């Protein structure tokens, strides 16, 4: 892939991804790029000391991921995925359907993940008592809807159909983080009785090469999320 | 097959207004049905079983839910008249980013203002104005967020202008003094029939807000 080129040209044409090692949102962008076979340079951030490059390219939210292409930035993970799809439309797999109605449905579910499923599971993870119960019950409801949606797909392989699509990428954090959360919280979130299709989907996702090869290191993830839980519970205790 | 387009909507919803504006911009013949959210129709519950909210666009019997989805769908199915999203992927990415900002920051803060009072409300109002100033900076001397013509971000954002009067009376301030260029942009959009006919009267919205706050037990 690497050839002798003028440094300025490299800088302009190169794809770069500003990310952190653990951000589930950044991982979405990693998967989309790798699934489409797009070479890119990783710029790893320490969010406790945000770099000038991050602040310059995402002044509004100051968050990762940020995709840089031809020196211009695209922010927000789902926006980045649509950009990748449109810019490298000739590279398989197709991350969004071509039919407008199916695209609208796909966008609906991707947004559902971000607006409903993620906030609920975060509430379940970061709170205690009644607030946690509410988070868990909302998570259960969202998973029920996702399970039903997956069962509607003809072959029930992925939300994208026979191949991974944007909804699978958006939900990808479920593959690794849910078992981790279950362990830390001591509760069951996904089970065989209520979520047979989602559990099969999770296994299928884990087996996808791009997903398998790009998981953040497991022991680091365990340490990080355990610490987050302790901080959240500690904060609550301090406020009592 | 003749196109059948129905919009399930409520008059005061800024989300519904987005769909109305896009339909009008593109000259799409449609049937507008006003929903009573206290007594949702069977059709609404059938077409949007997940969220049970408006707006819902029903095109030849098939539903499209979520206002930004509806606007993008209309743009993809009727691309020739008044295209709302640019054709360049980078510019589309920018438009989607700002539409997401309007939803997650502007509208979200704006909505929370009505559910609070006193110091909490004051602080949320400041947050709301802060987001408006960010948007104003993005406008940066352009006529519209879409450039020379109204585009996706304009359609997403302008509905909240019908709520400005309610904010100003409640908060005892004027948007003109904080973000005059944004106010000028909104008034420019209002010159379009598609916008002025889609937005309800500010006074009607204010009366609605007073009733809403009474119902929430805040006033």
Distance CA B109, CA B125 (A): 7
Ordered mean pLDDT values, 10 residues apiece, chain A (240 residues): 42 83 96 97 95 96 96 97 97 96 97 95 94 96 95 85 95 90 94 94 95 94 94 74
Across the A:B interface, residue pairs with CB atoms under 8 Å apart total 55
How close A14 comes to chain B (CA, Å)?
A: 15
Say whether B62 and A145 touch across the interface (CB within 8 A). Answer: no
Structure tokens given for B1: 């097959």
pLDDT of residue A155: 76
Q: What is the ipTM, given to two decimal places?
A: 0.94
Q: Which of A105, A220, A87 is nearest to A166 (CA)?
A: A105
Residue A94, Cα to own-chain centre: how many angstroms?
17
Please give the share of chain B, as a percent, with pLDDT higher than 90.
Answer: 92
- For residue B55, is the peptide bond before it cis, meaning its omega torsion is within 30 degrees of 0? yes
Cβ–Cβ contact A80 with B under 8 A: yes
How many angstroms separate the CA of residue A101 from the nearest CA in chain B?
Answer: 7
Number of helical H runs and strand E runs in chain B:
12, 4
**Between chains, do B89 and A87 touch, taking CB under 8 Å as contact?**
yes
Token pair belonging to B27: 């000259």
Looking at residues B197-213, what average pLDDT do you find?
96
pLDDT per residue over B10-69, tens digit each?
A: 999 999 999 999 999 999 999 999 999 999 999 999 999 999 999 999 999 999 999 999
User: Has residue B125 got a pLDDT over 90?
Assistant: yes
**Can you give the pLDDT at residue A33?**
98
pTM (whole model) above 0.90: yes
| Mean of the per-residue pLDDT values of chain B | 95
Note whether A20 contacts B: Cβ–Cβ < 8 A: no
What is the average pLDDT across B111-140? 94
Judge contact between A43 and A17, C-beta under 8 A.
Answer: yes
**Measuring CA to CA, how many Å separate A235 from each of A126, A127, A169, A224?**
10, 10, 32, 16
Q: For residue B164, what are the CA distances in angstroms to B11, B133, B169, B175?
A: 16, 14, 9, 8
Mark yes or no for CB contact B69/A108 under 8 Å: yes
Contact B103, B156 (CB under 8 A): yes
């Amino acid at each position: 892939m690497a050839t002798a080129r003028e440094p300025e040209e490299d800088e302009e044409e190169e794809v770069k991804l500003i990310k952190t090692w653990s951000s589930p949102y950044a991982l979405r962008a990693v998967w989309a790029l790798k699934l489409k076979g797009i070479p890119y340079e990783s710029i790893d951030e320490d969010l406790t000391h945000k770099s000038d490059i991050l602040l310059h390219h995402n002044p509004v939210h100051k968050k990762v991921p940020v995709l840089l292409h031809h020196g211009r930035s695209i922010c927000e993970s789902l926006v980045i995925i649509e950009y990748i799809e449109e810019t490298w439309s000739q590279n398989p797999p197709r991350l969004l359907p071509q039919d407008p109605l199916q695209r609208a449905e796909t966008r609906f579910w991707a947004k559902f993940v971000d607006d409903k499923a993620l906030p609920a599971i975060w509430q379940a993870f970061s709170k205690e008592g009644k607030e946690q119960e509410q988070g868990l019950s909302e998570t259960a409801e969202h998973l029920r809807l996702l399970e039903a949606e997956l069962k509607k797909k003809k072959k029930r392989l992925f939300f994208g159909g026979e191949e991974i699509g944007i909804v699978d990428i958006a939900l990808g954090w479920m593959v690794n983080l849910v078992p981790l959360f279950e362990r830390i919280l001591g509760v069951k979130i996904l089970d065989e009785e209520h979520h047979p299709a989602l559990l099969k989907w999770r296994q299928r996702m884990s087996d996808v090469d791009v997903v398998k090869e790009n998981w953040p290191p497991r022991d680091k993830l365990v340490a990080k999320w355990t610490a987050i839980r302790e901080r959240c519970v500690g904060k609550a205790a301090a406020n009592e | 097959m003749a196109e059948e387009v129905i919009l399930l909507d409520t008059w005061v919803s800024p989300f519904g207004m987005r769909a109305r504006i896009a339909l009008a911009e593109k000259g799409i013949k449609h049937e507008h049905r006003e929903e009573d959210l206290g007594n949702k129709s069977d059709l609404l519950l059938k077409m949007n079983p997940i969220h049970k909210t408006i707006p819902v666009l029903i095109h030849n019997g098939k539903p499209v839910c979520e206002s930004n989805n509806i606007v993008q769908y209309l743009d993809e199915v009727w691309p020739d008249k008044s295209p709302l999203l640019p054709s360049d992927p980078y510019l589309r990415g920018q438009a989607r980013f700002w539409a997401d900002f309007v939803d997650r920051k502007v509208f979200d803060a704006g909505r929370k203002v009505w559910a609070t009072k006193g110091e909490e409300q004051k602080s949320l109002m400041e947050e709301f104005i802060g987001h408006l100033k960010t948007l104003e900076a993005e406008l940066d001397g352009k006529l519209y967020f879409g450039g020379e013509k109204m585009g996706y971000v304009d359609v997403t954002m302008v509905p909240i202008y019908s709520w400005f009067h309610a904010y100003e009376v409640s908060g005892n301030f004027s948007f003109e003094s904080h973000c005059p260029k944004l106010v000028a942009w909104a008034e420019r959009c209002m010159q379009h029939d598609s916008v002025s006919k889609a937005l309800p009267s500010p006074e009607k919205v204010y009366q609605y807000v007073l009733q809403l706050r009474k119902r929430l037990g805040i006033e």
